[in-house]
Amino acid sequence: MEDSVNVAIRVRPSSNVFEKSIAVSVVSNNPPVLHVTNKQLYSFDNIFSDNASQKEVYDAMVKPLVKKVLGGYNCTVFAYGQTGTGKTYTIGSNPKSDSEAGFIARACDELFSNREDYRDLAVSITFYEIYNEKVLDLLSHKKGHVPVKGFKVDGLETIQVHNQKEAAQLLAVGSLNRHTGETKQNRFSSRSHAVFTLTCVVKNENHETEAKLNLVDLAGSESVRRTGTEGSQFQEGVNINKGLFYIGRVINALTTNVAHVPYRQSMITTTLQDSLSKRNFITLVACVSPDLQDVQETIQTLEFAQGTKRVKNRPEVNNVILEYKKKNPTLFERPAPSSAVKVRPTPLKRQNQSMDCPNTPSFAKTPKVNHTWTPGVQTPPTLAALSVASSLGDGTIVLSSFSPIVKKCTEAVENKIMEKFPLLMKSYAPRCSAEIDEQQFSWQRLHAEVSQIVRNEFVQLTTERSRACSSPIQCSNVAKRLEFDDDDDAFVFKVPKKPPPKVAEKKATTRRSARLSKKVSPPPPTQQPPRRQSVRLISKNRTEVSPKPRRSSSKRPPIPTPRKTPSTQDAKHAHHAHILSVLNKGNEKELQKLPSVGAKTARQIFLYRQLHGPLDDIKDLAKMQSWIGNQYQRFLRSNFLQIDD
């Protein structure tokens, strides 16, 4: 399992006795190909048939992620699908017996059995559900929902566990608290999305990593007609479908790399914003029913899974660099609070005051970093300086959202500043005494000096790197925008706000306003021919009326001249051979270059070739079952292929 986004299909055992009513079958396991009655073939990273065991699915999809989490990568596993297809069963968020242990129990088992390899491993658990767009803590005895601030669920019960048994107990308690209900399609239908999170903190000699494994049991998509829900259950269904719809939108936005990802549109995408970002490993297990009566929902699930597979992530490790702390222990010491210290806290400083060292410059106090922040340990100032505020609305850019080249530069700048910072601090050291107050300290000077270092390094590095690439970055312009933001306690790149779009002059839209407006004077009827007047009539009346000037023929788009069918026999053979080689050797993108071959047909040709080997003749393509109507003939015609029967 190499990819950062992995997608598998799990087919649930059928509830039908008759073979005729089965719509889904696994055609091949290598490559994994699924066949659905609509004649379409689907391929994913893994396909598990109805007799696949829980262990088999876990080993292929989640086991590799446990290692990644211990290595500092955030990983998220989603179970998605129609109601009653086995999502809860697969994730194991409602365990019934040991033989049915799902992902959660197995992942906990694995974490604790690997313990010896990790000298210092701390595991904690949170378990919450999203019910009717509200977050409810499944491990808390408190009533009411948990508030969400920004993208963070604020105040979840986080419980540290030391062994598999403790983890299993928490899972059992949480699953009892979860909202379930009976519908026509599932006796124990989950009425909420459940998120079970294992947070692993691993400390090594030089660094510390903190990463999360989220195991998400999404509620099933449901049609009111089929589930027969009414009243409050109907409302639950509406909210479930809303959440699932926006997960789809978020995935779509990640696939197309658009600037705005609609995380805030639903509670599930808000709370999982972290996990649904490009910095994580994502695994999707799409559960489907093999039954003919569910084929519509099955196809929808398969299409969703295919969309997810198109997301390309670049996972990053979450770590704290402790080396700096080791080298400069005095900088990170917490002095005893002194009544003589007078530092006026900025709004953000006030928030973090309890754990801040009063002598630490303000930009060093920002725990707003992607890297893990341990209370009591000050983040190296440059890391804080470069991991900038997250609010995009005010024209601030998050550095990490730049292109990879800028990201690399950022890392390099961080390293350089790390070297220079002790020197800079030394020059300030005498003035950092407890009696000094803020005015004497001159925060502005310190900010200006560090800004200058960051700017210089940034310009130098981006110039070096952009020389190597074809599209150089206007690095000096970008660097000029670097400013210290007091509100966010960080260095930010300010982006000039776009001027508001000019409001077009309002046109009179109603007849009354048109009449009232003196400026509007309708053209005399003789000057313009009636719209529907035929060309013949216009030419008849040409003497009386001057018609609207027609577009000159030179401006008309040229009429495409049809490509000629190769005339000689040799040319015809060469053309056939060329198309055949594209069909046999082309990847999906190359196949799509052929006329009448879209993304879907290209995929079908690709899968057909994988299953049956290369085509001997173009007419073998007729055997592909996924052609609809006269699509095959259209393909032949538009590719100028003459096939003798």
Binding site for ATP, by residue number, is: 81-88
User: Does the footprint of ligand ATP cover residue 263 (CB under 6 A)?
Assistant: no
Q: Which part of the chain contacts ligand ATP (CB under 6 A), choosing from 163-171, 182-190, 278-286, 471-479?
A: 182-190
Q: Residues within the annotated binding site?
A: 81-88
User: Does the footprint of ligand ATP cover residue 62 (CB under 6 A)?
Assistant: no
Measured from the CB atom, the residue of 81 and 367 that comes closer to ligand ATP is 81
Measured from the CB atom, the residue of 228 and 335 that comes closer to ligand ATP is 228
Q: Which part of the chain contacts ligand ATP (CB under 6 A), choosing from 186-194, 311-319, 371-379, 404-412?
A: 186-194
User: Does the footprint of ligand ATP cover residue 88 (CB under 6 A)?
Assistant: yes
Q: How far apart are CA 492 and CA 514, in angstroms?
A: 51
Residue 75 backbone dihedrals phi, psi, to 5 degrees: -130, 145
User: Does the footprint of ligand ATP cover residue 447 (CB under 6 A)?
Assistant: no
Measured from the CB atom, the residue of 108 and 218 that comes closer to ligand ATP is 218
User: Does the footprint of ligand ATP cover residue 74 (CB under 6 A)?
Assistant: no
| HSE value, Cβ hemisphere, 13 Å, CA-based, for 326 | 9
Q: Strands 46-48, 5-11: parallel, antiparallel or unpaired by DSSP?
A: parallel
Nearest to 333 by CA among 350, 353, 355, 363: 355
Nearest to 195 by CA among 274, 253, 141: 274
Q: How far apart are CA 589 and CA 611, in angstroms?
A: 19
Structure tokens at 611: 């299953």
User: Does the footprint of ligand ATP cover residue 229 (CB under 6 A)?
Assistant: no
Q: How far apart are CA 388 and CA 74, in angstroms?
A: 21
Q: Which part of the chain contacts ligand ATP (CB under 6 A), choosing from 87-95, 417-425, 590-598, 637-645?
A: 87-95
User: Does the footprint of ligand ATP cover residue 87 (CB under 6 A)?
Assistant: yes
Nearest-5° Cα angle at 244, 241 to 247: 155
Q: Which part of the chain contacts ligand ATP (CB under 6 A), choosing from 36-44, 83-91, 339-347, 404-412?
A: 83-91
Q: How far apart are CA 464 and CA 644, in angstroms?
A: 61
User: Does the footprint of ligand ATP cover residue 192 (CB under 6 A)?
Assistant: no
Measured from the CB atom, the residue of 188 and 234 that comes closer to ligand ATP is 188
- Helix, strand, coil shares, percent, the chain, to 5: 45, 15, 40
Q: Which part of the chain contacts ligand ATP (CB under 6 A), choosing from 77-85, 245-253, 394-402, 411-419?
A: 77-85
Number of residues that bind ligand ATP (CB under 6 A): 17
User: Does the footprint of ligand ATP cover residue 106 (CB under 6 A)?
Assistant: no
CB 281 within 8 A of CB 73: yes
Measured from the CB atom, the residue of 296 and 415 that comes closer to ligand ATP is 296
Looking at 139, 168, 287, 331, which residue binds ligand ATP (CB under 6 A)? 287
Pick left, alpha or beta for residue 155 (phi over 0 → left; psi -120 to 50 → alpha; otherwise beta): left
Helices (runs of H) and strands (runs of E) counted in the chain: 22, 20
Structure tokens at 618: 């173009």
User: Does the footprint of ligand ATP cover residue 84 (CB under 6 A)?
Assistant: yes
Measured from the CB atom, the residue of 179 and 619 that comes closer to ligand ATP is 179
Q: How far apart are CA 312 and CA 327, in angstroms?
A: 38
Measured from the CB atom, the residue of 8 and 636 that comes closer to ligand ATP is 8
Looking at 40, 175, 189, 396, which residue binds ligand ATP (CB under 6 A)? 189
User: Does the footprint of ligand ATP cover residue 367 (CB under 6 A)?
Assistant: no
CA distance to 441, 453, 458, 494, per residue, from 446 (Å):
8, 11, 18, 19
Looking at 85, 277, 366, 379, which residue binds ligand ATP (CB under 6 A)? 85
CA distance to 167, 440, 543, per residue, from 430 (Å):
51, 12, 97
Looking at 4, 12, 211, 319, which residue binds ligand ATP (CB under 6 A)? 12
User: Does the footprint of ligand ATP cover residue 228 (CB under 6 A)?
Assistant: no
Look at the block and give the residue holding tokens 């639903």. 266
Q: Which part of the chain contacts ligand ATP (CB under 6 A), choosing from 188-196, 376-384, 482-490, 576-584?
A: 188-196
- 284 beta partners: 7, 78
Shortest separation between residue 629's beta carbon and ligand ATP, angstroms: 35
Structure tokens at 627: 């052609």
Q: How far apart are CA 152 and CA 275, in angstroms?
A: 12
Residues 197-226 that bind ligand ATP (CB under 6 A): 219-220
DSSP letter assigned to residue 146: B
Residues 537-576 that bind ligand ATP (CB under 6 A): none
Structure tokens at 271: 């709370």
Shortest separation between residue 84's beta carbon and ligand ATP, angstroms: 5
User: Does the footprint of ligand ATP cover residue 188 (CB under 6 A)?
Assistant: yes
Alpha helices in 120-182 (DSSP H): 164-177
Measured from the CB atom, the residue of 12 and 349 that comes closer to ligand ATP is 12
Binding mask 454-483 for ligand ATP (x = CB under 6 A): ------------------------------
CB 396 within 8 A of CB 494: yes
Nearest to 43 by CA among 591, 586, 627, 607: 607
Shortest separation between residue 393's beta carbon and ligand ATP, angstroms: 36
Structure tokens at 252: 């779509």
Measured from the CB atom, the residue of 163 and 296 that comes closer to ligand ATP is 296
Measured from the CB atom, the residue of 87 and 465 that comes closer to ligand ATP is 87
The rounded radius of gyration (Å) of the Cα atoms in the chain is 32
Measured from the CB atom, the residue of 48 and 373 that comes closer to ligand ATP is 48
Measured from the CB atom, the residue of 104 and 409 that comes closer to ligand ATP is 104
Looking at 4, 76, 140, 190, which residue binds ligand ATP (CB under 6 A)? 190
End-to-end CA distance of the chain: 45
Structure tokens at 71: 């290595």
3 state SS of 498: coil
CB 135 within 8 A of CB 148: yes
Measured from the CB atom, the residue of 63 and 368 that comes closer to ligand ATP is 63
Looking at 13, 376, 595, 598, which residue binds ligand ATP (CB under 6 A)? 13
Q: Which residues lie near ligand ATP (CB under 6 A)? A: 12-13, 81, 83-89, 186, 188-190, 219-220, 287
